[in-house]
Amino acid sequence: MNLPSELSPVEAKSVLRVNLPPIPAKRYFTIGEVGDLCAVKPHVLRYWEQEFNQLKPQKRRGNRRYYQHHEVVLIRRIRDLLYNDGFTIHGAKNRLEELDSQWQIRSELEALLSLLTVPVKQSPQSN
């Protein structure tokens, strides 16, 4: 994308931000649909599949790719990291792994907290 040279870095970054359409409530999406939903070309999606282990669309009939809702959300996150936040592929991989690790730790802490905060039965007060 060619940006006018008189744009500041902040303005240039905002030009790259795209209002993406809402993700429809359906089970599977083709690579073309995902490309439209995420403003990413199909060849880029195929490349990202090789680079990001978390991205594993199902392949059916003639190796056609079918993405699920969570993968579309992940692709949008990858796109945001690469195109808007300025991460490299390697940096985006690391960031996604950090976020996944943080999510796992949070889940474990919430489970532990729920075990520790079991409601205590109060005895009836006698007058």
Edge-to-edge order in the sheet of strand 29-30? 29-30, 64-67, 58-60
pLDDT in tens, 98-124: 887 777 787 777 777 777 886 666 666
Q: Give me the pLDDT at residue 120, please.
A: 63
Extents of the domains making up the chain: 9-92
pLDDT of residue 14 exceeding 60: no
Instruction: State the CATH architecture for 9-92.
Output: Orthogonal Bundle (1.10)
Q: Give me the pLDDT at residue 94, please.
A: 93
pLDDT in tens, 44-102: 999 999 999 999 999 998 889 999 999 999 999 999 999 999 999 999 999 998 887 77
Closest CA to 76 of 97, 55, 107: 55
Assess contact for 57 and 64: CB atoms under 8 A. no
Confidence of residue 24 (pLDDT cuts 50, 70, 90): very high
